[in-house]
A and B are shown apart, each in its own frame.
Chain A
Amino acid sequence: MSDRGAVDSLLQRAAPGRAEFEDLVIVPLFAVAVALILGALTMLATGVDMATIGRSYVALLQGSVGSLGALSETLTAAVPLVLAALGLALGFRTGLFNIGAEGQLLMGGLAAVIFGFSFPGLPFPVLMPLCLLAGALTGALYAAIAGYLRAATGAHEVISTIMLNLISYRLLDWMLSLDWVQREGRSDPVSRSVPPNAELPRLLDWLDPNLRVHAGIFLMLLAVWAVHWLLFRSKLGFEFRASGANPDAARYAGIRASLVIVLAMALAGALAGLAGANQVLGVLGRATPGFSAGIGFDAIAVALLGRSHPVGVLFAGLLFGALEAGGRQMQVDAGVSIDLIGIIQALIIVFIAAPLLVRAIFPWGFRRRDKGGAR
């Protein structure tokens, strides 16, 4: 029996079996479907009629993948989500629940803007990467505060990162009111603009100037590859995963737990900061209060949905980007508030994070496992 078990587990590793197919494909599909149905019920409950519900889901589809412009919007919305979620996934793998992507993103974006307008004379190939770097470094430093506190004093990172988020909002408000940051001649909190030679170039504006998709998608793909390599091919990534899987065992194996925590938080912050820099350099062109627009929180959902795997995060980010872009269309076409998307996203994660729940609702989708054939 034990031989048989060993062979089975080897085989399973070589060829993903039915069980993994269920986990990776069927559960997410069910989750999305059930969330959309429950979303429709929510609309019904708030007095939206059936025709409008149908129209809003059509708009959701059209606005996300219905045209070249829609695809461009989906990709534009997905880039920062994937970048920030990659960082969070790195943290989850290390056993750190970092809720601070929002604050790290704000700080990183602000740093990128400030660096950009401080050195407008530098040529594009120097200035743009340096702006991204400034964003990443600032995000890393901001996140490292929480990492250090966790490592040195045991302060739970959930609470400290949430507090750092709240602090970052005020810090941003204050920075935007400083003379050397605020745009000349404005009394409202708006930063100076990023110079054109620091912007991430748009890719398709020669087709239609409204297509906003920009070079950030290459940054996103590069980050997916880099995080995958780091997590699954490097020694550091092994230490991260070992610490996440069993902190005690990792410590006895000689892995420096404190260092791993600080490094993982800093890397997560760097990716979130990069997401912020990507937003200001590619889409917004300046910093305003709350320019992050909740991306840091949505990224938590993306990382969970992607099962903390870089490739999964990529697809989850694309899905959430599509929901975001489609949600805007939905608001315009059907007059249904975009906040509905938040409900749908939360429901998707519930069903993803509690596979037992999905199995309880749809027992017929998982008949193989119940018979015990795979074992």
Chain B
Amino acid sequence: MTAIDPRAPAVADLGALRRKRGTGAALIVLAGVILLLFGDAAGDATFRLSRPRDAWVLGDLIVPALPVIQIAAALTAFLGARQFLRGGGRWTTLSLGVGLALFVMAFLVWATAGKAFSLTGMLQATMVRAVPIALGGLAATLCERVAVVNIAVEGMLLAGAFTGALMGSVIGGWGGLVSAVAVGGVFGFLLAALVVTYRMDQIIAGVVINLFVLGLTSYVSSQVFAEMRHLNNAPVFRSWKIPVLGDIPVIGPMLFDQNIFVYGALVMVAVSTYYLFHTAHGLRARAVGEHPRAADTLGIDVYRTRYIHVTLGGMVAGFGGAWFTLGSVGRFDENMTGGRGFIGLAAMIFGRWHPVGALMAALVFGFTDSLQQKLALLQTPIPSEFLAMAPYIATIVVVAGLVGRARPPAADGKPYVKD
């Protein structure tokens, strides 16, 4: 290979060099920004690790604000310089990740300086807010692994939220949850029918489902719910603490003292990872996503596989949608998903079309989301609108591939026409 075109490796080196240098320079700039923006901190920052009524109480974590910020800036600058001079390869992404984490840490310390802040509470909120995004990402992953682009995740979440509120009010919480899953599945099946059988453009089909669900739910909520309030008053699933595990400081409240949606999301991510990557059926599904014609030749029914997985994806999204009503407020509002489905799509891309990756990405988004909420309490001088933008900007940054580019399933978005 190298003998044929001796220039090729040189060109690749040049690209890698530029990326290495660029990342290094960006990190050094980031260090400057940390010093410039957060250098005026004074006093101690208090982070609470336990809640008052916890079984095992940990002491508060008290750090002097200014020195910590300076150390964070110095570390970032060091990483940047190292990256600039001799980084590359795996180090590029790793340094960038560590640099961003240091930036967030410095920001938190700056915002908390002279005040107290419950770290455990924020981590718990992070997990809760990550749930709809993770489930949206998981739904999209299931669909895209069989090469169906599912822009309709947003609409499926909204449909799940609506059904959860309506049926939850009529037949109770569990009935509402089951109905939400079923309705999500119906929309998944509808999407599959439109794109697999009627070969509609996948993105247009998704947009149409989103529009339709938005129109239908808004119509019913203003036509029916406005007068009959008892139809929009569902019971909420309370959190259920797992004995012993729930008492572990910090991670106990985050992972083991939550409601059924958090446990459900974790279980689904685990099950779908096992299914997709460790079973024969999962292998067949992925084959349909990578090379449908080859899969067809081997006797896999491409259409049926797509129908099944898109419907499953819809059911997962319906479950995630029920979180909005049955898992938090019990009441449906127009367009209450507010773009979470799209953030879920971004989480899927960030997570490289892998359920666990999507969950991790969702946690990052959940973190920015809950950070914004908690920071409003700390009264930082930053306008709240900008904090509210943070998750969206994070999504753009992530999708733009600053964290490294990922490869979608090869046949993603392409309809398959059987000979």
Residues of chain A touching chain B, judged by Cβ–Cβ distance below 8 Å, are: 42, 46-48, 97, 99, 149, 152-156, 158-160, 162-167, 170-171, 173-174, 177, 297, 300-301, 304, 336-337, 339-347, 349-350, 353-354, 356-357, 360
Among candidates B198, B223, B401, residue contacting A354 with C-beta atoms closer than 8 Å? B198
User: Could you tell me the distance in whole angstroms from the C-beta of B84 to the nearest C-beta in chain A?
Assistant: 21
Please report the C-alpha to C-alpha distance between residue A162 and residue B386 in the assembled complex, in whole angstroms.
17
CB–CB B385/A158 < 8 A: no
| Residues in chain B near residue A350, CB distance under 8 A | 194, 208, 212
CB–CB B208/A349 < 8 A: yes
Determine the residue in chain A with the shortest Cβ distance to B218.
A339
CB–CB A155/B401 < 8 A: yes
CB–CB A149/B396 < 8 A: yes
Determine the residue in chain A with the shortest Cβ distance to B228.
A47
| Residues in chain A near residue B174, CB distance under 8 A | none
Determine the residue in chain A with the shortest Cβ distance to B405.
A154
CB–CB A167/B392 < 8 A: yes
CB–CB B395/A342 < 8 A: no
| Residues in chain B near residue A360, CB distance under 8 A | 198
Determine the residue in chain B with the shortest Cβ distance to A164.
B396
CB–CB B392/A349 < 8 A: no
Among candidates A48, A166, A300, A353, residue contacting B339 with C-beta atoms closer than 8 Å? A166
| Residues in chain B near residue A347, CB distance under 8 A | 212
CB–CB B400/A155 < 8 A: yes
Instruction: Indicate the member of A152, A153, A341 with the most B CB atoms within 10 Å.
Output: A153
Among candidates A165, A304, A339, residue contacting B215 with C-beta atoms closer than 8 Å? A339
CB–CB B339/A47 < 8 A: no
Instruction: Indicate the member of A158, A339, A344 with the most B CB atoms within 10 Å.
Output: A339
* Secondary structure type dominating chain A contacts: helix
User: Could you tell me the distance in whole angstroms from the C-beta of B15 to the nearest C-beta in chain A?
Assistant: 13
User: Could you tell me the distance in whole angstroms from the C-beta of B195 to the nearest C-beta in chain A?
Assistant: 9
Contact (A46, B339) CB under 8 Å given A155-B396, A170-B389: no
| Residues in chain A near residue B127, CB distance under 8 A | none
| Residues in chain B near residue A47, CB distance under 8 A | 224
CB–CB A343/B151 < 8 A: no
Is B380 interfacial (CB 8 A cutoff)?
no
User: Could you tell me the distance in whole angstroms from the C-beta of B349 to the nearest C-beta in chain A?
Assistant: 8
CB–CB B223/A342 < 8 A: no
Determine the residue in chain B with the shortest Cβ distance to A336.
B223
Assuming A154-B405, A170-B385, A342-B219, what are 11 further A-B pairs, CB within 8 angstroms?
A47-B224, A156-B349, A156-B399, A160-B400, A164-B396, A170-B386, A339-B223, A340-B223, A342-B218, A346-B211, A353-B205
Please report the C-alpha to C-alpha distance between residue A346 and residue B159 in the assembled complex, in whole angstroms.
15
Please report the C-alpha to C-alpha distance between residue A173 and residue B395 in the assembled complex, in whole angstroms.
20
Please report the C-alpha to C-alpha distance between residue A337 and residue B205 in the assembled complex, in whole angstroms.
25
| Residues in chain B near residue A349, CB distance under 8 A | 204, 208, 211
| Residues in chain A near residue B401, CB distance under 8 A | 153-155
Which 10 pairs from chain A and chain B are nearest by CB? Answer: A342-B215, A346-B212, A339-B219, A174-B385, A343-B215, A346-B211, A339-B218, A155-B400, A170-B385, A354-B200
Please report the C-alpha to C-alpha distance between residue A300 and residue B206 in the assembled complex, in whole angstroms.
12
Contact (A356, B198) CB under 8 Å given A42-B216, A160-B396, A167-B393: yes
Please report the C-alpha to C-alpha distance between residue A359 and residue B1 in the assembled complex, in whole angstroms.
53
| Residues in chain B near residue A167, CB distance under 8 A | 389, 392-393
Please report the C-alpha to C-alpha distance between residue A358 and residue B107 in the assembled complex, in whole angstroms.
56
CB–CB A149/B400 < 8 A: yes
Determine the residue in chain A with the shortest Cβ distance to B226.
A337
CB–CB A301/B211 < 8 A: yes
| Residues in chain B near residue A166, CB distance under 8 A | 338-339, 389, 392
| Residues in chain B near residue A156, CB distance under 8 A | 349, 399
Please report the C-alpha to C-alpha distance between residue A97 and residue B338 in the assembled complex, in whole angstroms.
20
CB–CB B219/A343 < 8 A: yes
Residues of chain B touching chain A, judged by Cβ–Cβ distance below 8 Å, are: 151, 194, 198-201, 203-205, 207-208, 211-212, 214-216, 218-220, 222-224, 338-339, 342, 345-346, 349, 383, 385-386, 388-389, 392-393, 395-396, 399-402, 405
Please report the C-alpha to C-alpha distance between residue A48 and residue B227 in the assembled complex, in whole angstroms.
13
CB–CB A46/B345 < 8 A: no
CB–CB A173/B385 < 8 A: yes
User: Could you tell me the distance in whole angstroms from the C-beta of A67 to the nearest C-beta in chain B?
Assistant: 26
| Residues in chain A near residue B211, CB distance under 8 A | 297, 300-301, 342, 345-346, 349
User: Could you tell me the distance in whole angstroms from the C-beta of A362 to the nearest C-beta in chain B?
Assistant: 14
Please report the C-alpha to C-alpha distance between residue A164 and residue B397 in the assembled complex, in whole angstroms.
12
User: Could you tell me the distance in whole angstroms from the C-beta of B225 to the nearest C-beta in chain A?
Assistant: 10
| Residues in chain A near residue B214, CB distance under 8 A | 342
| Residues in chain B near residue A344, CB distance under 8 A | 215
- List, sorted by A's number, 5 A–B pairs whose CB atoms are closer than 8 Å: A152-B400, A173-B385, A297-B211, A336-B223, A343-B215
CB–CB A353/B389 < 8 A: no
Determine the residue in chain B with the shortest Cβ distance to A347.
B212
CB–CB A353/B215 < 8 A: no
User: Could you tell me the distance in whole angstroms from the C-beta of A126 to the nearest C-beta in chain B?
Assistant: 33
CB–CB B215/A163 < 8 A: no
| Residues in chain A near residue B389, CB distance under 8 A | 166-167, 170-171
Determine the residue in chain B with the shortest Cβ distance to A99.
B207
Determine the residue in chain A with the shortest Cβ distance to B190.
A350
| Residues in chain B near residue A153, CB distance under 8 A | 400-402, 405
Please report the C-alpha to C-alpha distance between residue A170 and residue B384 in the assembled complex, in whole angstroms.
9
| Residues in chain A near residue B383, CB distance under 8 A | 174, 177
Determine the residue in chain A with the shortest Cβ distance to B219.
A339
User: Could you tell me the distance in whole angstroms from the C-beta of B203 to the nearest C-beta in chain A?
Assistant: 5
| Residues in chain A near residue B218, CB distance under 8 A | 337, 339, 342
| Residues in chain A near residue B395, CB distance under 8 A | 159, 163
Among candidates B207, B385, B392, residue contacting A163 with C-beta atoms closer than 8 Å? B392
Determine the residue in chain A with the shortest Cβ distance to B394.
A163
